[in-house]
Amino acid sequence: MFDMFSDLLEVPWVQALLTLVLSIVGAYLLRRLIVRVLAKLAGRTATNLDDIVVAALERPIFYSIILGGIAYSLDLLDPSPRIDRISSASLQTLAIIVWTGAIIRIGTAVLQTMSYHAKPNSVVQARTLPFFVILTKLIVVGTSIYMGMLAWKTDITAWLASAGIVGIAVGFAAKDSLANFFAGIFIIADAPYKLGDFIQFDDGLRGRVTHIGIRSTRILTRDDIEINIPNSIIGNAKIVNETGGPYAKERVAIPVSVAYGSDVDQVREVLLTTPLGITYVCEHPEPIVFFQNFGASGLEFEVLCWIEDPAYQENVISDVNFRIYKALARAGIEIPYSKHDVYIKSFPELEPLAPVPPPSWVERLRARSEELEAAEEATTEETSAGEEVAALVAGAPVKVEGAGAGAGAGAGDDAGKPSPLSNFFRRPLRRRGPKPT
């Protein structure tokens, strides 16, 4: 039995399989040891740097043991030179990738700890931290790329020889990215703001700086919206750092206008009490009131008070305005408003408008109306003439206009005029019925 097991161990693929299994088991046991022992020891210290280091090394060590077991197993199988070269280079590349992430994480944690405990003359501070983090990432990534090329036995001389041409091509193709990159370096070196500062742009955008990267800067506004701004735009913009200076405090000004005739001493006393007791308003320095000028509608004052954080500027201004309005109303002080009286001296003489010719349809309607009136008059004349003829046939006297008293005179005057009856007989007969075609 023992001899059979010994003979089985002499088989290459069995040795490779056993080596792979042992490497996985060893990696798992070592990982549990790191988690249970080293993590507990690191948790007892005052700083969290060792906790970050232990957590960052846990995964690379686990995968490195497994990759080493795979490489040893492949050597036991005695593969061809081509397969051996490709497998070895692939395993080395995977190991480089795993350790690159761990080294970047550890380096960033070390730099953050150094900036947190930095002194005024230290090189690594809060404002220079992004620069060193970016520099660390570039160095680690560049070294990893170089080691990966060595693992694949790539000649770097040809790459270095063509670096000039590639650099020109990349410069034209990625000019915006390069502009953002160099602007980010200048921002970090000049340090107009740092992480955690509350800044305001010339277009009114306000927010807190949450990240300063190679390409852009992230701003978190009061609306809990994160805005990503390219560094090239920030480098050419006017920026107001409201957190800058020796203290994070900021003084805010609230303009107030009262009516002419108000007691200015009473106004000052009333306004001085309005900011007191409001959240985020500092007790020292105390609020002050300035009489600014004589405005067009009233006396213009200004209440100035200090707040603990620039992020609460809108809240403080709103609360102070509420109190100012109520305090002035209780004190009987009038708040003026813009009022204008307009007097019209005279109206300019206006030229009469030229008559506008009516549209064509109005002309057609008017002509049709005249035709209808003429037809109605003709029908009336025919009706009256017919009545006269009927009376004449019946033997009734026909009333002639102008007869009666003074008939002699009237008869002489109307002798030459034709009577309606004569006009009726003289008129040509109308053919009733449809018109001939």
Q: What is the secondary structure of 184-232 as a DSSP string?
A: HHHHHHH-SS-TT-EEEETTS-EEEEEEE-SSEEEEE-TTS-EEEEEHH
Rounded to the nearest 10 degrees, the angle between the axes of helix 49-76 and helix 81-116 is 170
Residue 305 vs residue 420, higher pLDDT? 305
Residue 206 pLDDT: 94
Q: How many CB atoms are located within 10 Å of the residue 143 CB?
A: 13
Q: Distance between CA 286 and CA 303 in Å, rounded? A: 11
Residue 95 pLDDT: 95
Q: Distance between CA 235 and CA 192 in Å, rounded? A: 10
Beta 216-220 vs 206-212: how paired, if at all? antiparallel
Residue 405 pLDDT: 39
- Residues in CB range of 306: below 8 A, 6 or more apart: 249, 250, 251, 252, 281, 282, 284, 285, 287
428 alpha-carbon distance from chain centroid: 91
Q: What is the pLDDT of residues 126-139, one digit of tens each?
A: 777 888 888 899 89
Q: How far is CA 52 from CA 100, 105, 113, 231, in A?
A: 15, 8, 11, 30
Out of 33-42, 187-196, 410-419, give the one with best mean pLDDT: 187-196
Q: Which CATH class is domain 250-331?
A: alpha beta
Quick check: 435 pLDDT over 70?
A: no
Q: In what order do the strands lie in the sheet with 299-307?
A: 250-258, 299-307, 288-294
Quick check: 421 pLDDT over 50?
A: no
The residue behind tokens 């109306």 is: 369
Q: How many CB atoms are located within 10 Å of the residue 266 CB?
A: 14
| Apex 409 CA angle, 404 and 410, nearest 5 | 60
Residue 359 pLDDT: 65
**What percentage of residues in the chain have a pLDDT greater than 90?**
40
Residues in the chain: 437
Quick check: 93 pLDDT over 90?
A: yes
Span 404-419, average pLDDT: 44
Span 379-388, average pLDDT: 68
Span 5-22, average pLDDT: 80
The residue behind tokens 């770097």 is: 156
- Residues in CB range of 96: below 8 A, 6 or more apart: 144, 147, 148, 151
Quick check: 231 pLDDT over 60?
A: yes
Beta 239-241 vs 250-258: how paired, if at all? unpaired
Q: Distance between CA 207 and CA 210 in Å, rounded? A: 9
Q: Distance between CA 13 and CA 21 in Å, rounded? A: 12
The overall average pLDDT reported for the chain is 82
Residue type, 347: F
Residue 429 pLDDT: 45
Quick check: 433 pLDDT over 50?
A: no
Out of 10-14, 48-52, 364-368, give the one with best mean pLDDT: 48-52
User: Confidence band (pLDDT; 50, 70, 90) for 338?
Assistant: confident
Span 330-339, average pLDDT: 90
Span 36-44, average pLDDT: 79
Residue 329 pLDDT: 95
What architecture is the 155-245 domain classified under in CATH? Answer: Roll (2.30)
* Cα dihedral sign, 226-229-234-235: positive
Residue 356 pLDDT: 64
The domain segmentation of the chain, as residue ranges, is 2-152, 155-245, 250-331
Residue 437 pLDDT: 44
Kindly provide the b/e burial profile for residues 394-406, where b requires at least 16 CB atoms within 10 angstroms of the residue's own CB: eeeeeeeeeeeee
DSSP at 297: S
Q: How many CB atoms are located within 10 Å of the residue 208 CB?
A: 21
Span 387-407, average pLDDT: 52
Under a CB-based contact definition with an 8 Å cutoff, are residues 419 and 400 in contact? yes
